[in-house]
């Protein structure tokens, strides 16, 4: 997508041909800063501190992190250590494991002197595939949006979509997942308006989704996380679309904390609740998302403090809780499949269930099924 008229992906190979450049998302929306990753540790750090974030981008960064590791030392021990280090950066988004397994499986079978070159190729393939996948998700999702828009009364002026967290191009290599649908619906002439959940504690909605939507000229309003239920009760939400960090085989979807409450409110108010996801976000080994998906717990300081721009234009962090308060920071929750109207994937739209997913990904049925 474009930033000040210049096309960007969220991660790309540096001009030197081996280092990797990223957009430092901790500096948005107030500053647009890029950063160069030169070592595997740089990549691991960028994922841990969330300079890069979002399930598909975490996977892509890990892929390039492995390439950086092998650029330095392509031996077996370093390959294993790099995979372990990168895998430990964040627990919930399954794209991390997917990318490392895909690359590790092939790379460990290659002679050491061929590994680095192939690792860079594979990382680039993962990135390019992600772009194509997300574009296709947007196309399929847009058909559903158009259908719902066509059913609105003729005097309706906007089609109101609520989204949570940031599932835009910044969370992927390009296009985004939930926002890919929104971008393409807007570009296709549907008068989309977006309710952007602020998404405490790290405010990915207020900071990143709002920044992306403004850059693309899409009308939107940032709302506090607790506003969605009220808006739905009053007919002000036509549809919810979120992303997901891991979707279980049974269709349960794990996403940023608070997604579950939006799905409950949507269910209670007959608002369609869709989740957009690339195939690599499906964890086929996870039978039950609610009981099985590991939920990241982050530093309680993210709850007790908020960062923002002060009146002098400086970004600063302020404490909003009493001194010494105890806080817990669960970063994700799981929405049971029964609350999800449907899944937007690169292969089409399906029911959130094992049979729905297997209908689109029959190769995952396994022998004899
Ligand atoms: O903690 P984050 O910012 O990495 O969480 C990101 C999300 O929860 C997104 O909604 C999710 O990764 C899907 S985006 C393609």
Burial class (CB in 10 A: 0-12, 13-18, 19+), 262: buried
Q: Is the pLDDT of residue 211 over 70?
A: yes
The encoded tokens of residue 252 equal 């349960």
Q: Which atom of ligand 1 is nearest to the CA of 243?
A: 13
Whether 331 is in the pocket of ligand 1, judged by its Cβ within 6 Å, is yes
The encoded tokens of residue 193 equal 């308006």
User: Which of the listed residues 48, 49, 93, 257 should we mutate to test ligand 1's pocket, taking the one with most ligand atoms within 8 A of CB?
Assistant: 93
Q: How far apart are CA 232 and CA 43, in angstroms?
A: 40
- pLDDT tens across 80-134, in order? 999 999 999 999 999 999 999 999 999 999 999 999 999 999 999 999 999 999 9
Cis peptide leading into residue 201 (ω within 30°): yes
Residue nearest to atom 14 of ligand 1 (CA): 167
3-state secondary structure string, the chain? Answer: CEECCEECCCEEECCCCCCEEEECCCCCCCCCCEEEECCHHHHHHHHHCCCCCCHHHHHHHHHHHHHHHHHHCCCHHHHHHHHHHHHCCCCCCCHHHHHHHHHHHHHCCCCHHHHHHHHHHHHHHHHHHHHHHHHHHHHHHHHHHHHHHHCCCCCCCCEEEEECCCCCHHHCCCCCCHHHHHHHHHHCCCCEEEEEECCCCCCHHHHHHHHHHHHCCCCEEEECHHHHHHHHHCCCCCEEEECCCEEECCCCEEEECCHHHHHHHHHHCCCCEEEECCHHHEECCCCCHHHHCCCCECCCHHHHEEEEECCCCCEEEEECCCCCCCCCCECEEEECHHHCCEEEECCEEECCCHHHHHHHCHHHCCCCC
pLDDT tier, 11 (very low <50, low <70, confident <90, very high otherwise): very high
CA 182 to ligand 1 centroid distance, Å? 16
54: alpha, beta or left? (left if phi > 0; alpha if psi -120 to 50): left
Rounded mean pLDDT of 355-364? 98
Q: Is the pLDDT of residue 368 over 60?
A: no
Rounded mean pLDDT of 214-227? 97
- Among 206, 184, 358, 178, which Cα is nearest to 276's? 178
Rounded mean pLDDT of 6-32? 97
CA torsion angle for 291, 258, 306, 223 (degrees, to 10)? 170
16: number of Cβ within 10 Å = 8
Q: How far apart are CA 135 and CA 1, in angstroms?
A: 12
Burial class (CB in 10 A: 0-12, 13-18, 19+), 340: buried
So where are the chain's domains?
A: 2-128, 136-365
Residue 310: what pLDDT? 96
Residue 2: what pLDDT? 86
CA 58 to ligand 1 centroid distance, Å? 9
The encoded tokens of residue 321 equal 């809780």
Residue 45: what pLDDT? 98
Identify the CATH number of the domain defined by range 2-128: 1.20.120.420
Residue 1: what pLDDT? 87
Dihedral pair phi/psi, residue 163, rounded to 5°:
-130, 155
- pLDDT tens across 166-192, in order? 999 999 999 999 999 999 999 999 999
Residue nearest to atom 15 of ligand 1 (CA): 167
Rounded mean pLDDT of 344-362? 98
Residue 369: what pLDDT? 53
- Sheet order of strands, 273-276 included: 220-223, 192-197, 159-163, 239-242, 273-276, 342-345, 348-350
Q: How far apart are CA 271 and CA 239, in angstroms?
A: 6
CA 210 to ligand 1 centroid distance, Å? 15
Catalytic residue chosen out of the listed positions 174, 245, 252, 333: 245
Dihedral pair phi/psi, residue 142, rounded to 5°:
-65, -35
Question: What is the average pLDDT score of the chain?
Answer: 97
Rounded mean pLDDT of 310-324? 96
Residue nearest to atom 8 of ligand 1 (CA): 256
Cis peptide leading into residue 29 (ω within 30°): yes
Dihedral pair phi/psi, residue 274, rounded to 5°:
-110, 150
* Model-wide pTM > 0.95: yes
Dihedral pair phi/psi, residue 9, rounded to 5°:
-100, 170
Residue 194: what pLDDT? 98
Q: How far apart are CA 83 and CA 69, in angstroms?
A: 9
Q: Is 113 annotated in the active site? A: no
Question: Per CATH, the architecture of 136-365 is what?
Answer: 3-Layer(aba) Sandwich (3.40)
Residue 367: what pLDDT? 64
pLDDT tier, 364 (very low <50, low <70, confident <90, very high otherwise): very high
């Amino acid at each position: 997508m474009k930033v000040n008229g210049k096309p960007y992906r969220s991660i790309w190979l540096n001009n030197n041909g081996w280092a990797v450049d990223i957009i430092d998302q901790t500096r948005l929306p107030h500053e647009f800063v890029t950063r160069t990753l030169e070592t595997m540790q740089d990549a691991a750090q960028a994922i841990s501190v969330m300079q890069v974030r979002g399930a598909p981008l975490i996977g892509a960064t890990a892929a390039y992190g492995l390439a950086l590791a092998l650029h330095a030392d392509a031996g077996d021990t370093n390959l294993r250590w790099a995979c372990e280090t990168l895998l430990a950066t964040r627990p919930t988004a399954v794209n991390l494991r997917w990318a490392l397994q895909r690359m590790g499986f092939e790379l460990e079978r290659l002679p050491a002197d061929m590994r680095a070159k192939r690792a860079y190729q594979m990382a680039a393939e993962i990135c390019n595939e992600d772009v194509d996948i997300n574009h296709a998700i947007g196309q399929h999702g847009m058909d559903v949006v158009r259908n719902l828009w066509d059913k609105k009364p003729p005097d309706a002026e906007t089609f109101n979509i609520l989204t949570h967290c940031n599932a835009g191009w910044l969370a992927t290599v390009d296009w985004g997942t939930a926002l890919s649908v929104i971008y393409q619906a807007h570009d296709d002439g549907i008068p989309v308006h977006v309710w952007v959940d602020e998404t405490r504690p790290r405010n990915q909605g207020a900071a990143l989704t709002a920044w992306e939507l403004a850059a693309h000229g899409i009308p939107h309003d940032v709302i506090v996380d607790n506003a969605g239920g009220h808006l739905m009760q009053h007919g002000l939400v036509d549809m919810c679309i979120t992303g997901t960090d891991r979707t279980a085989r049974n269709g349960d979807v794990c996403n940023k904390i608070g997604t579950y409450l939006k799905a409950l409110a949507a269910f209670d108010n007959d608002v369609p609740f869709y989740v957009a996801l690339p195939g690599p976000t499906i964890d086929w080994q996870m039978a039950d998302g609610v009981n099985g998906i590991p939920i990241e717990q982050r530093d309680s300081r993210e709850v007790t403090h908020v960062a923002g721009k002060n009146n002098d234009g400086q970004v600063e962090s302020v404490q909003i809780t009493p001194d010494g308060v105890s806080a817990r920071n669960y970063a994700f929750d799981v929405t049971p499949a029964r609350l999800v109207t449907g899944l937007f994937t690169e292969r089409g739209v399906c029911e959130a269930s094992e049979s729905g997913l297997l209908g689109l990904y029959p190769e995952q049925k396994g022998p004899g099924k």
